[in-house]
Every structure is written in C-alpha cells, then in structure tokens.
Amino acid sequence: MPDNPIMRQADQNIAATYQRFPVVFTKGRGATLWDSEGRAYTDFVAGIAVCALGHAHPRIAQAVSDQMNRLVHVSNLFYTGPQAELAAWLTADSFADRVFFGNSGAEANEAAIKLARKYFHNKGETHRYEIISMQQSFHGRTMGTLSATGQEKIRKGFEPVLQGFHFAPFNDAETLERMITDKTCAVLLEPLQGEGGVCGPDPGYLKAVRHLCDKTGALLIFDEIQTGMGRTGKLFAYQHFGVEPDIMTLAKALANGLPIGAMLAREHIAEAFGYGSHASTFGGGPVITTAALAVLKLIEEEKLINHCAKMGKYFFGRLEALKTKYDVVEQVRGLGLLLGLKLKVEGAPIVTACMENGFLINCVQNNILRFIPPLIIEENQIDDLIDCLDKILGDI
C-alpha cells in the first residue's frame, strides 16, 4: 500500500464502508482519468455507469457553472425553470406522464415503493402492499430499498427489514405467476440486472411479466437506474423489449455525475402522490436539473445512443473472440455498453492486473467482469483493453 497522505487521512476518518483501490484520482477528461502520480487510465467503470458523457465534459461544466452563478437552491416550495424543463423532456421521451425528483437511485426507488403502496391505499385496497422483486436484484441501501434487494449479503445485519417483500427468481415467469396474490401491489425489477451479474431477460420474459401484472392489476416497476439514459443502446432498456412499465426509476447517468434520482409514472398512478405525500428538500434543484438537461441535449446532439449501440456490438464481438480463445471465459453477457464477461475463476486479480496496465474495470458477483465505460468510448480504446485482457487471460 503506497504511503499517500490522502489515503491515510481517508482511512482514518471516513466510515470504512468501502474497500478502495489504492489510487487517488485528481483529473479526468473524456474516458481518461489521471491519478495523483500522473498515471493515465482508460475508464471502463465511469463512476459505476454514471459518467456517460465522459469526465469533466466542458459543456456540462459550463451549464452548471452558469446556473451556480444565477441560482443554486430555493426548495420545492417554489417553481424553477430547469426542473420543469427536465420533467417535460423525460415525460416526452418515455411512457411516463409525471416525474418526482430525488437525489439518488435509492431515493428514486423509495419513491416508487411509496407510490405503489399509496396507489392501492387510495383505492381502498389497504391490504395490497406487497412487492415482488427478483433474486440477485439490487435496488439500493436505504432500509426500504435494501428490503427490496434480493441479495442476502445486503440485508444481513439490518433486520428487521421492511414487511411485504418477496423475491422471485429472475427469468422465471411461472414461479412469478404462483407468487402474485391479491396482496401484491407491484412487481419491481431491473430489465437487465447490473450488480446481480449483468443478467439480461430471456426472450419473452418481460412481456410475460407485463401480462401477469395486467391480469392481476399489480403495477410494474422498472428500475432503470443503471440501464437508463442510453446505456443499453436505447434511451431506456425497456424500449428493446416492447414492454412499458407503470413506474420507472432513473439516477446514475442522468446528470453525468451530479447526484439526482427520478421516479417516473403514468398519470393515473402518479395521481396517488397528492400534496404533502412525498417530498425532498434538494430534489430536482436548479443546478442538478441544469446538468441533466445538458446531458439530454448532448445525448441527442452527439447521437450518443447510436454510438453506444455500435460500440456495444463491437465490444461484444471482441469479448466473444476472447471466449473462443480462452477456456476460463464462460460467457459474454449484456446489451449496449453494459457488458459482462463471466469467468470460471475469480475476477478480482484480473481487475487489479488491468489497473496496473492503465485500465479501470470492475467485477460483480466474484467472477463476472463488468464493462460500463462512458458511452463516448471509441473503438481503439476498446481494442487496447481487449489486448490487455488477452495478455492477462493468456497468463492464467
């Protein structure tokens, strides 16, 4: 471990909830990061699928800086322009009619859980409060969202968790059908599980889930916190599958690194959130929403979603070639630039080896390398990472 004063200070004073890599980042541009020693890294983590437009994008920096100099915060007791404009943009581009703004993914999911319960409460169906989410899912770390998260390790030690959550196996509509009862208010799932191991839906699965919800009246909630904003090669992942949810949550890439969460819903459901039913002091403030508007403009102007789909296909193909070449590679998974490489060995040493060679990647569920670069990533940067992985896998 290098003797770095920043690391020492951090390790002494910050809650030890994160096991960090021994590197201090000081600067970023596009898909490149520089550490305190001046070393450059090509970033295939993007702050965990956040910095879709790359680091320190000058247009976002300018928009945020202008807004900072004009107006930073007034609370949601009053109207502000950027929040209204962002909500109009998000609803125009999705199935939804209304947006609630919070400050993180977990807060967006909290809002979704509360809205689903309130919707049935308002209809007089107060017994209908149960939510079915998926095994291996990830929805956040607050008490509500960890209760909805289908991973034992995340709930452990925080019991009792919230009542009324059940976990169905992902990609198993038959079991889900048996689990839905007249107490189920919603089915909550990620269209493609990110933290759970980059697991996509089998053909027809999401349609079957939609059908089960329609049949029983349960609401369908898509957590697109990781998959949203172009990451999978469409603005929202649900657009790949011909299935629309009733409620959707967004966060990560929405403001390219500034904290924001959004819960989107159809009108007749959003109605259940009346005056005073839910709130956030910071949610949807003018600076953050200005950043998100800049992100949406840039996605459009730079035709980023087409680029992502193209780079995603290219990347997938190059990973497939590694699979053909190396026996330790079990499967290539994912969509767009949310890709996974399932290994028959532990992923952590490969992550470290990549880092030593100037590439940031990440590993989920012990043996699945996850690639979530900025969507602006270029072919030659993908080639360089593949060459690096080729060498590392060759040495195993």
Cis, peptide link before residue 160, omega less than 30° from 0: yes
- Is 246 a binding residue for ligand PLP by CB under 6 A? The answer is no
Stretch that binds ligand PLP, among 5-13, 98-106, 213-221, 272-280 (CB under 6 A): 98-106
Amino acid letter, 140: G
DSSP string for residues in 187-235: EEE-SSBTTTTSBPPPTTHHHHHHHHHHHHT-EEEEE-TTTTTTTTSSS
Catalytic residue list contains 222: no
- Exactly one of 95, 101, 120, 138 is catalytic; name it: 138
Stretch that binds ligand PLP, among 7-15, 105-113, 126-134, 291-299 (CB under 6 A): 105-113
Site residues for ligand PLP, 197-236, by CB under 6 A, read 223, 225-226
Tokens of 320: 């497939």
Stretch that binds ligand PLP, among 134-142, 151-159, 168-176, 313-321 (CB under 6 A): 134-142
CB of 105 to ligand PLP, least distance (A): 2
Closest residue to ligand PLP, based on beta-carbon distance? 105
42 vs 104 by CB, closer to ligand PLP: 104
- Is 139 a binding residue for ligand PLP by CB under 6 A? The answer is yes
CB of 149 to ligand PLP, least distance (A): 8
- Exactly one of 252, 315, 342, 371 is catalytic; name it: 252
CB of 255 to ligand PLP, least distance (A): 11
262 vs 294 by CB, closer to ligand PLP: 262
229 vs 298 by CB, closer to ligand PLP: 229
Q: Are strands 247-250 and 219-223 parallel, antiparallel or unpaired?
A: parallel
86 vs 188 by CB, closer to ligand PLP: 188
Four-point Cα dihedral 323, 327, 331, 337, nearest 10: -40
Q: Which one among 28, 30, 102, 140 touches ligand PLP, defined by CB under 6 A?
A: 140
- Is 256 a binding residue for ligand PLP by CB under 6 A? The answer is no
- Is 104 a binding residue for ligand PLP by CB under 6 A? The answer is yes
106 vs 180 by CB, closer to ligand PLP: 106
Which residues, at least 6 apart from 51, have a Cβ–Cβ distance to it below 8 Å?
Answer: 28, 43, 253, 256, 257, 374
Q: What are the backbone dihedrals phi and psi of residue 103, each rounded to the nearest 5 degrees, phi first?
A: -115, 0
28 vs 140 by CB, closer to ligand PLP: 140
- What are the start-end ranges of the E strands in the chain? 25-29, 32-35, 40-43, 98-102, 130-134, 165-168, 184-189, 219-223, 247-250, 261-265, 329-335, 338-343, 359-360, 362-364, 368-371
Give the Cα separation of 247 and 96 in Å (integer): 7
Q: Are strands 40-43 and 32-35 parallel, antiparallel or unpaired?
A: antiparallel
Which residues, at least 6 apart from 311, have a Cβ–Cβ distance to it below 8 Å?
Answer: 337, 375, 377, 378, 379, 382
Catalytic residue list contains 252: yes
- Do the Cβ atoms of 357 and 349 come closer than 8 Å? no
Residues designated catalytic:
138, 223, 252
Which residues of this chain interact with ligand PLP, rule CB under 6 A?
Answer: 104-106, 109, 138-140, 190, 194-195, 223, 225-226, 251-252
